[in-house]
Structure 1
Amino acid sequence: MPPVSADQIQRITGVYLRGVYRLFLVILLAGCQSLPEPVTRQNDVRMDRELRGDSLVVTVHNTVPSPMRVQLTSDAIALDTAFVLAPLSEKPIRVHAPGLDSTSLSSAVRGSLTFGSLDWPVRAETLSLPFPAGRWYRVIQGYYGSFSHNYPFARYALDFALAVGDTVTAAADGMVIGLVDENTAGGNNRKYRDHANYITLFHPQSGLYTQYVHLQPGGSLVALRDSVKRGQPIGLSGLTGFTSRSHLHFNVLVPDSSAGLVSHPAVFEPDVPGGALTQGSRAVRR
């Protein structure tokens, strides 16, 4: 083998260094790319504020077929009230507010709007598994899972190993009260938590709420305020939000006095406790 000249070594070294530099730039640019702003608003429930003489009128519009708990507070005026809005209703609250001007309306009143009424009875209901009949999927995370089921809102959630594009079905008859399907980002990092696409259903016959999370972009097959039937296709599984792999995160929720909504144990047809669906087991819908 002939000896390598100094010029050849220099050329080879130059090519190598340029390659390393390009790779460094690619990694740097990828790291600098910011996430798109997540879509988190799941419905059009709203609160309007209007000055009428020396009074402020706050009108809360519940535009979904579920009761809503409302709390209004203010540091600027004497306002601290809580009430429940019936499904598809609105309520005006009039408060004496001398000296309040129109430029400070948006910050004058804070509103907390939460699904559910503590007076609405919660009854046991046997649910369908949230995928089509005749299918089965592995459970990749069960109750109290250490990855992401370790806090009150998700402690009884179940993760099923649906692939991207697999059909998600309603666990019971209900109404669509929340829907997000515009997010595109996802990954195994908590920075993606707010980027999940999901559907929220209310089941008036039982008082339960169910959520179907990590749907693909544009993966909703229903619209806000739609009525759905048990087993009806409602969405397509995906990879959005905080997740290490494609799957369906299914959660049953009930109203709670201190935490808004909290996760609740489920029972699936024919009589399978959700706690029996442990990590690695097969969930079969007959």
Structure 2
Amino acid sequence: MSVPLPDSFRRETVQVGDVRINTLVGGDGPPVLLLHGYPQTHLIWHGVAPALAEQHTVVLTDLRGYGDSDKPAGGPGHEGYSKRTMARDQVLVMRELGFERFAVAGHDRGGRVAHRMALDHPDAVRGLAVLDIVPTHYAFRHADMHFALGYYHWFLLAADDGVPERLIGGAPEFCVRSRIDAWSGDAGLLEPAAVDEYVRCFSDPAAIHASCEDYRAAASVDLEHDEADRANRVIAPLLALWGAEGFVGATYDVLSVWRGYADNVGGAALPSGHYVPEEAPQETADALLTFFGSL
């Protein structure tokens, strides 16, 4: 199997509690954790990680439920896929690797995990970069018809009746490739070998179910946590990057929204659709290197 990451990135399986997290580590320097989104894996960073590894120790993982990481049950309240649980996984991975304090960048679902991590583990997070998202709490509390049509999958996947698993399970490759086509500015910019890996991993029924649990948690237990923590702000410096051609940039004043949730916010739009690290890898790497270097 060919994957577009240099051989200098070593693969490890890190045990955190009862869950094994697929992990790759490369480079040397201050540690940086990179988290992916839906319906993808750590390979979203293949065009960014090598550049970061010239100055940093770069850790890439598959979130629980995704890629080659374990896919445990979510439980009756979906707590197994709460962003609190998923963030704890990643903090424990970094501790197992010897890093008590680090910077983190997350795209899409990974950005939501990273946001919760910065709230729950402020002593661990030196800096937070979020790619092509606004906070889940804000998105749901300001949802309208435009949001419902643009992000209909949030509501489909959150349906707790087995329907999304049955529908997606009937055509997982179509679901992955159609999402990439719909959300990218130019799907041709994505590495075919990486997309093939997304299809391979997402074709596992356990991965489909886990991803639905991720979205179910977002619409239930995550919102409970967000409401309880509404007065709790991100104290680490926060960099927001988003695609100039994507839904997020067209819908929100991204920096203004994040300033409602964090104390020190900067950022910019990059020339891409939703898949910022893959559509604009050089620009993403440059922005992250500048940000991480300022911490």
Give TM-score, length-normalised by structure 1: 0.22
Taking structure 2 as the reference length, the TM-score comes to 0.21
Q: Which has the higher strand share?
A: 1
Decide which structure has greater helix share: 2
- Which of the pair has more CA radius of gyration? 1
